[in-house]
Amino acid sequence: MISPETTTVTTIYTTFDSPLGELLLVGEESATAPGGTALASLSMPQQRGVTVQPHWRRAPGPFAEAVRQLRAYFAGERTRFELAFRTAGTEFQERVWRALEAIPYGTTTTYGRLTDVAGAPRGDVRALGAAIGANPLLILRPCHRVIGADGTMRGYAAGVERKIALLTHEGALQPTLI
């Protein structure tokens, strides 16, 4: 009898110092991803539920391209990311996350408008908000560009102050003078 092959997924990670604090990049080794690593998560300090696990292996090398693109983004030299992602959301979440990628740099959209883009009924705004909140790739899938219909800054997994900082960086908000 032939036993089915089991594949072991190796989870690797690195950290990156950014203007928003230390970012945690998590990936999975992948034979099909450029560079051999598909990015599974990008999170920020104090983000709930995101911590390095004991079985993960620290490996900064495979994240060199992601770090290069993030540095260029924070330097104002990049407005889009070209990286391989591997996320494990529901079909609805993945559809919402793809819709986030279509929001242009330097702009915002509302939750209501995003339901249309994601092909969700208008009554599913709460489900859409939950899917946005579960986005594992902050900055890369720009959920920070989604705001309330009245222009208010709704929740952000890494804190509303970081959402405001990202929108200000992108020119979608004017800096506040204190």
Least Cα distance to 129 among 143, 142, 140 occurs for 143
Annotated active-site residue 143? The verdict is yes
Helical H segments across the chain, by residue range? 64-74, 91-101, 111-118, 125-133, 160-169
Q: Using one digit for the tens of pLDDT, what is the confidence trace for 161-177?
A: 999 999 999 999 887 66
- Give the mean pLDDT of 119-136: 88
Least Cα distance to 9 among 70, 86, 101, 64 occurs for 86
The pLDDT of residue 176 is: 67
pTM of the model: 0.88
- Helix 91-101 × helix 111-118 angle, to 10°: 110
Residue 104 has pLDDT above 50, yes or no: yes
> Which candidate in 143, 147, 157, 166 is catalytic?
143
The pLDDT of residue 119 is: 84
In the DSSP assignment, the letter for residue 89 is -
A 10 A CB-CB count for 41 gives 21
Sign of the C-alpha dihedral computed for residues 48, 165, 90 and 24 taken in this order:
negative
Question: Which residues are bridge partners to 16 per DSSP?
Answer: 23
